[in-house]
Amino acid sequence: EDKVVQSPLSLVVHEGDTVTLNCSYEVTNFRSLLWYKQEKKAPTFLFMLTSSGIEKKSGRLSSILDKKELFSILNITATQTGDSAIYLCAVESNDMRFGAGTRLTVKP
Amino acid sequence: GAGVSQSPSNKVTEKGKDVELRCDPISGHTALYWYRQSLGQGLEFLIYFQGNSAPDKSGLPSDRFSAERTGGSVSTLTIQRTQQEDSAVYLCASSLGPEYYEQYFGPGTRLTVT
C-alpha cells in the first residue's frame, strides 16, 4: 500500500534556527511530490518536485527530492515566528497520499 | 482507525455528463473540506462544511459545482455538465473542527473528462 511518512511529527525551535523536515514515501507510479504549509483553512502550496537532485528555492525555503532513496527534505533557514505551521508532504501517484504533517513551532 | 475515504478512486466521464464524488470523513470530525488539484498545480480550495452547513463556498469555480453534507458525515461533490478543464484530482479532508489545523486527507478521486 502506498504511504507517505513525515518526520519529525513536531518540532520546536527558536527564531533564527534552521530546520529540516523530512518526507519519505513508498508509492507505485510516482508522478510528483508536493510540499504545503498549513496555517488556517487551506494549505498553501510551496513546492512541486518531480526530478531528483534539483533544488527548488523560494526565499528562505528550499526543497530537494531523491527518487532513488525515495525521500524529500524541506529546509527553512533563519526561521521566523511566522513560519509556525503544519508542513504537509504529499505524493501524487495513482492517487494523492498525504503525510501526517510536521508541526513546526518557532519561538521568539 | 479508519481514515478519510473517497469514492470512486478514478472516474472517466464524457464531456457534458454529470458526476458525483463521495467523501467519508473520519468519524467525529465536524469540519469537512473539498479541494481540487490540477496537474502541476497546488491545492485549490472548493468548499468547507461545518456540520451540515457550508459557511464558505467561495472556492466553487462555477454554478456547475455543488456539494452537500448530510448527517454531519458523508459529503458529495456534484459536477454537472462536466468540461475538460474539470479534469483533476478531487481531494476531501476532515478535521475535528474549524479551529483545528490538522486536516486529514483522503486519497482523492481522479476525474478525467474526455
B110 DSSP β-pair partners: B10, B89
Concatenated DSSP letters of A51-73? STT--EEETTEEEEEETTTTEEE
In chain B, where are the structural domains located? Answer: 5-113
pLDDT tens digits for B46-60? Answer: 998 988 988 878 889
Q: How many residues does chain B have?
A: 114
Nearest to B100 by CA among B60, B54, B48, B57: B48
pLDDT at site B101: 63
Using CA atoms, how far residue B5 sits from A77, A86, B32, B74, in Å, is: 36, 22, 12, 10
Q: State phi, psi for A81 to the nearest 5 degrees.
A: -60, -30
Residue among A25, A38, A41, A50 with most chain B CBs within 10 A, to mutate: A41
pLDDT tens digits for A34-73? Answer: 999 988 667 888 999 999 999 999 999 999 999 999 999 9
For the domain bounded by A3-107, which CATH number is listed?
A: 2.60.40.10
Residue among A9, A28, A96 with most chain B CBs within 10 A, to mutate: A96
Q: What is the DSSP letter of A43?
A: P
Chain B residue whose CA is closest to A3: B107
Q: Cell triple for residue A3?
A: 504511504
pLDDT tens digits for B43-94? Answer: 788 998 988 988 878 889 999 999 999 888 999 999 999 999 999 989 999 9
With H, G, I as helix, E, B as strand and everything else as coil, classify residue A82: helix
Q: Cell triple for residue A81?
A: 515566528
**Cα A80 to Cα B1: distance, rounded to the nearest angstrom:** 35
Q: Which fold has domain B5-113?
A: Immunoglobulin-like (2.60.40)
Of the partner residues B33, B102, B107, the one whose CB lies closest to the CB of residue A96: B107
Contacts of A13 by beta carbon, 8 Å cutoff, 6+ apart: A19, A79, A104, A105, A106, A107
Give CA A14 to chain center in angstroms: 19
User: Among residues of chain B, what percentage have pLDDT more than 70?
Assistant: 92
Sheet with A61-66: strands ordered across: A3-7, A19-26, A71-76, A61-66, A56-58
Residue B1 pLDDT exceeds 60 = no
Residue A92 contacts B where some CB pair is shorter than 8 Å: yes
